[in-house]
Copies of this chain bind each other. A is one copy, B any other.
Amino acid sequence: MPRLRGKINHKITFDGPLAVNIPCNLRTDIKYLIDLEPIGRRIEVEAGSSLLEAAQQAGVDLVAACGGLGICATCRVRPVRGQFNPLTPAEEEQLEPADIAAGYRLACQAAPLSDARVEIPPDSLPALQKIQLDGREAVVALQPAVRALNLTLEPPTIDDLRSDLTRVSQALQRLAGHVPSSGSLPVGAVPDRMLRDREPPLQGDLAALEQLSDTLRSQGWTARLALDAVEGEAQRLVATLPRGAGLLGLAVDLGSTKLAVYLVNLETGVTLAQAGVMNPQISYGEDVVNRIAFANRSEANRGLLQERVVEALNGAAAELCARAHVLTGQIVEAVVVGNTAMHHFFTHLPVAQLGAAPYVAAVSEALRVRAAELGLKFAPGAQVYLPDNIAGYVGGDHTAALLATRSFPGRVRVLVDIGTNTEISLVVGDSSYTCSTASGPAFEGAHIHDGMRAAPGAIERVRLENGRARWATIGGLAPVGLCGSGILQAVAELRAAEVIDARGALRKDAPGVRFVDGRAEYLLVPAAQTGHGRDVVITRRDINEIQLAKGAIRAGIELMLQHGLLAAGDVEEWVIAGAFGTYLDLPSAMRVGMFPSAPLERFHQVGNAAGMGAKQMLLSLDERREASRLVQRAHYVELTVEPGFTDEFMKGIYL
């Protein structure tokens, strides 16, 4: 299993506008002075304002997960002086008896009737949610697509024959304050027809409705409802959980080689567990081009690609949940990012048109689809969000990487996500020029004579000292081959030592160079020192592969700069993402010309930026909107029809 290095730190914040729910007829021209303690802030509010409104006017963000509907009990405060409206039914429902006895109120329900002083307990003040990426933190306000609500209902009786869904719907409406808050109407006593003239406030897939009825009965008419909170959509039931069960989400980076999977608590932002698993589609094609060809051979093949990746995700989700002592049924939402081909394989969209010019996506728009339709075994109403694809060869993974790296302070930024296809964005402010360049699999160790993936025994660092090669392997084992960062550094060192020339040819008379079957190769590690008893060598052909790969990347960078009318020196931040990008030796990469020369401190090797972006979109709907906005402002450049590309590529392959 490949290593997933790097660490993610999380803290939590809440912000954003909050609705309140105080009857309009309470509002007058009278104003009251409210002191907020222990913050020591004073604010003048109109009579009829809620304490939540008062706090907002004072610039104090209270936690108010339900948006001020009185149904989440996260905005508890304690009035210590002044007159207030009596407890509302929502408060009687949501506050613990001990809290009521201690004088607690919900800030969204309590309205002062005089000057007042109010104590805000630490629980009700938000912490900060930060996502760490290369030492920088992106602050993400927790605003997940699914939220939880505890509900206790009266069971049906012969005098109250409402259906389960009606019962739950009306309880939700009542908690949201749509029923006259006389305070005397117990839940369950709302007459059957009383609210029927409204749209039913709750909908759900059949599987979710089935679970609702079963769970309400098995849990004695009490449950934690997971509800879809996406604005503008009908309130949708996602899952009916036991009281106390956390709402979980899965962020997934669907790489063509491996899948990075993060299990996240949506209510705290904490990542509970993470794993990297191989993409089983590799059996059907090493890269996406081969897999598209495989898919095009039959409908069954295309189905197989979809099923295998879904199986792998189900397996990873089950394993992560077991590790975190939670259930897959608690996964109420997922965000999946991947290149456009992976996106289409995963969603079973047609891929034939991705494999032939002009390489167009079936769908570029952000999608939110039912997990069950894909075969994912999460909560019955769980959905999967797939952010916008940018083009046929620039997918939602790059969108996610753009999102995750937008916190870098520089106004001019180049984002390079290195893989078999390398996506490159020149970002200026919020706009970008974006391209994809076919860098090939050399950096993943493929098509290299002694190449291998970054696994134990792979040489990842090479240095030539006085003509003698020194190396370091992953795990410190005896070397068995070279991974991408090793071969790249080897080429840079060989070039510096003039063992190879600018065109990539090995100098016949250089130390270590030998001929096998008339072909030149450099003996890096003799058989006696390797783990498998065979020489580890670098061939002329290996060097060529590296030249082609780095030349493609460099040409892409140069063309983006040309489109932006900028020079390399104008770039304030070079953000290098992806597994290979994280471990490559930057000076070597600059020496071989993969990147223009620039001060090292402008470079940031950020690891799986796509995965981080996926996690941000999992935690916040605003981040999804921001990602779509970034895609709207991304100008895709198709390199294959760019007049300058061939020139730049030819220049780029020189060492």
Binding site for B on A (CB under 8 A): 156-158, 160-166, 169, 192-193, 196-197, 200, 205-207, 209-210, 212-214, 217, 347-350, 352-353, 357-367, 369, 372-374, 389, 391-392, 631-633, 635-636, 638, 640-641
15 extra interface residue pairs, beta carbon distance < 8 Å, beyond A158-B357, A158-B641, A161-B392: A156-B360, A160-B358, A161-B358, A164-B362, A165-B365, A169-B365, A192-B636, A193-B635, A197-B632, A205-B373, A209-B347, A209-B362, A213-B362, A217-B353, A372-B373
Rounded to whole Å, the gap between the CB of A139 and the closest CB of chain B is 25
Q: A365 and B638 in contact (CB under 8 A), knowing A349-B209, A360-B161, A360-B163?
A: no
Cross-chain contact A638 with B161 (CB below 8 angstroms): yes
Q: Name the contact of A361 in the complex, choosing from B163, B200, B349 (C-beta under 8 A).
A: B163
Cross-chain contact B166 with A632 (CB below 8 angstroms): no
Residues of B within 8 A of A365 (CB): 163, 165-166, 169, 200
Cross-chain contact B389 with A163 (CB below 8 angstroms): yes
Residues of B within 8 A of A635 (CB): 193
Q: How far is the CA of A200 from the CA of B632 in the complex (A)?
A: 12
Q: Name the contact of A161 in the complex, choosing from B197, B363, B636 (C-beta under 8 A).
A: B636
Q: How far is the CA of A373 from the CA of B373 in the complex (A)?
A: 8
Q: How far is the CA of A528 from the CA of B217 in the complex (A)?
A: 59
How many copies, total? 2
Rounded to whole Å, the gap between the CB of A144 and the closest CB of chain B is 21
Cross-chain contact A210 with B358 (CB below 8 angstroms): no
Residues of B within 8 A of A363 (CB): 163-165, 209, 213
Q: How far is the CA of A369 from the CA of B205 in the complex (A)?
A: 7
Q: How far is the CA of A361 from the CA of B212 in the complex (A)?
A: 12
Rounded to whole Å, the gap between the CB of A57 and the closest CB of chain B is 31
Cross-chain contact B632 with A359 (CB below 8 angstroms): no
Residues of B within 8 A of A210 (CB): 348-350, 362
Q: How far is the CA of A386 from the CA of B373 in the complex (A)?
A: 21
Cross-chain contact A369 with B163 (CB below 8 angstroms): no
Residues of B within 8 A of A357 (CB): 158
Residues of B within 8 A of A367 (CB): 206
Residues of B within 8 A of A158 (CB): 357-358, 638, 640-641
Q: How far is the CA of A161 from the CA of B364 in the complex (A)?
A: 10
Q: Name the contact of A364 in the complex, choosing from B163, B360, B364 (C-beta under 8 A).
A: B163
Q: A361 and B164 in contact (CB under 8 A), knowing A158-B638, A353-B213?
A: yes
Residues of B within 8 A of A193 (CB): 632-633, 635
Cross-chain contact B161 with A206 (CB below 8 angstroms): no
Most buried by B among A213, A633, A638, A640: A213
Rounded to whole Å, the gap between the CB of A617 and the closest CB of chain B is 17
Q: How far is the CA of A636 from the CA of B166 in the complex (A)?
A: 15
Cross-chain contact A348 with B206 (CB below 8 angstroms): yes
The 3 tightest CB contacts between A and B, nearest first, are: A163-B364, A163-B361, A213-B362
Residues of B within 8 A of A633 (CB): 193
Cross-chain contact A206 with B359 (CB below 8 angstroms): no
Q: Name the contact of A632 in the complex, choosing from B165, B196, B214, B347 (C-beta under 8 A).
A: B196
A373 nearest CB neighbor, chain B only: B206
Q: How far is the CA of A193 from the CA of B391 in the complex (A)?
A: 12
Q: A350 and B166 in contact (CB under 8 A), knowing A358-B161, A365-B200?
A: no
